[in-house]
């Protein structure tokens, strides 16, 4: 029985075919030597199910056998693995195959701007400023003094509360709620995300809990993606800041005053407590918990389900709860296994 999955493009428009030269132009490379009559390529596909009119990509060593037997017409591959490409497939050799594949897939399935349609069912304040060519769906609510840049897409049941600012070409999927927030350009927010709500800030003593006003805002820089049902609290006095190019997965919690540095990645179910600061290119894996008022250095990596209680230096890789350098964590795991086996 074949394990090949059937590809269904029900939710995407049929792409316009591309020639080999057009693909190379998109990637900024010279066309390789190829048969005189190269076909037009009309889709992207996995190696194991690709057809002669498809573009495929090899970027994971686990799929070497699929590469060796692929029927794809064109395969994007690194120089290291190009010799595995079958003679019936054109090898497009490039340094970063997966990024190159993404550019081609993006070209095939570009996101439409929406054409500037504003639903009559939307509720938009008279003081709001809406840019050119924006699409605003049914039952969207836009409050007083909101500013929305050109080319934005605001989908159904999303709420943008008073005073918020969106840059150009932002996409807010359905059921997003934004308050006390300033967004840059090209921000993409998936369904159900909540941004700008008051943080978990209160004074606790014998007299009971006393809520502290949350007077900051959320600042989201350019080209940020925020996952479904993720929450980002506004600052208490200073701002919560999400840097340029950050990628945040679904179900992530970011507390008040947190700063996330440029191009960092936060994976699903991670939680960052108040006032912690992450540097640039930090990777926080799934279900990681980071305590408050910590500093995570540039390029640090935190393994899944780790609990971080101390600052992390630049470039360190941490694992475990409480988090320790990953080599020490591996040593502890090995020692524990040996201890258990010894007792048997």
Which pLDDT score, from 0 to 100, does residue 4 have?
57
Q: Are 75 and 97 in contact (CB under 8 A)?
A: no
Please provide the average confidence, as pLDDT, over all residues in the chain. 94
Q: What is the pLDDT of residues 61-109, one digit of tens each?
A: 999 999 999 999 999 999 999 999 999 999 999 999 999 999 999 999 8
Residue that wins the pLDDT comparison between 277 and 342: 277
Which pLDDT score, from 0 to 100, does residue 1 have?
35
- Tell me the mean pLDDT in the region 238-251: 98
Asked if residue 157 has pLDDT above 60, the reply is yes
Q: What is the pLDDT of residues 99-150, one digit of tens each?
A: 999 999 999 988 666 678 999 999 999 999 999 999 999 999 999 999 999 9
The dihedrals phi and psi of 11, each to the nearest 5 degrees, come to: -95, 10
Asked if residue 22 has pLDDT above 90, the reply is yes
Asked if residue 220 has pLDDT above 90, the reply is yes
Which pLDDT score, from 0 to 100, does residue 5 have?
60
Asked if residue 47 has pLDDT above 50, the reply is yes
- Tell me the mean pLDDT in the region 197-219: 94
**What span, in angstroms and rounded, lies between the C-alpha atoms of 214 and 182?**
16
Which pLDDT score, from 0 to 100, does residue 2 have?
44
Provide the 10 A C-beta neighbour count for residue 339: 9
pLDDT-based confidence at 240, cuts 50/70/90? very high
Residues 6+ apart with CB under 8 A from 172: 152, 153, 154, 155, 158, 160, 166, 178, 189
Q: Please give the radius of gyration of the chain, using alpha carbons only, rounded to the nearest integer.
A: 24
pLDDT-based confidence at 15, cuts 50/70/90? confident
The conformation of residue 34, written as its DSSP 8-state character, comes to -
pLDDT-based confidence at 3, cuts 50/70/90? low
Told to judge if 256 belongs to the known catalytic residues of this protein, a careful annotator would answer yes
Which pLDDT score, from 0 to 100, does residue 64 have?
97
CA dist 231 → 10, 154, 176, 226, 252 (Å): 31, 18, 10, 9, 6
- Tell me the mean pLDDT in the region 189-193: 98
The residue annotated as part of the active site, out of 54, 81, 180, 256, is 256
């Amino acid at each position: 029985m074949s394990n090949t999955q059937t590809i269904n493009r029900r939710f995407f428009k049929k792409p316009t075919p591309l020639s080999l030269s057009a693909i190379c132009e998109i990637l900024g490379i010279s066309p390789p030597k190829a048969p005189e009559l190269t076909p037009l390529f009309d889709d992207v596909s996995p190696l194991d199910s690709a057809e002669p009119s498809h573009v495929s990509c090899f970027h994971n060593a686990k799929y070497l056998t699929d590469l060796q037997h692929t029927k794809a017409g064109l395969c994007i591959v690194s120089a290291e693995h190009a010799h595995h490409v079958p003679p019936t497939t054109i090898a497009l050799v490039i340094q970063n195959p997966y990024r190159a594949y993404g550019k081609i897939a993006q070209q095939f399935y570009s996101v439409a701007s929406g054409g500037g349609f504003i639903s009559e069912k939307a509720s938009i304040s008279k003081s709001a400023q809406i840019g050119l060519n924006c699409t605003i769906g049914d039952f969207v609510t836009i409050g007083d003094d909101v500013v929305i840049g050109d080319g934005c897409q605001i989908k159904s049941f999303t709420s943008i509360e008073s005073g918020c600012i969106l840059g150009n070409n932002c996409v807010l999927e359905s059921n997003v709620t934004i308050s006390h927030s300033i967004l840059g350009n090209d921000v993409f927010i998936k369904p159900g995300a909540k941004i700008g709500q008051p943080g978990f800030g209160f004074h606790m003593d014998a007299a009971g809990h006393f809520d502290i006003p949350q007077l900051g805002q959320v600042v989201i820089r350019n080209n940020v993606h925020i996952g479904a049902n993720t929450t980002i609290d506004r600052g208490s006095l200073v701002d919560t800041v999400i840097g340029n190019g950050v990628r945040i997965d679904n179900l992530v919690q970011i507390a008040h005053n947190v700063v996330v540095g440029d191009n960092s990645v936060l994976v699903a179910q991670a939680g960052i407590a108040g006032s912690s600061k992450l540097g640039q290119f930090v990777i926080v894996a799934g279900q990681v918990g980071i305590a408050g008022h910590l500093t995570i250095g540039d390029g640090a990596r935190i393994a899944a389900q780790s609990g971080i209680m101390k600052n992390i230096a630049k470039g360190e890789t941490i694992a475990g709860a409480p988090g320790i350098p990953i080599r020490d964590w591996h040593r502890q795991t090995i020692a524990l296994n040996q201890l258990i086996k010894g007792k048997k």
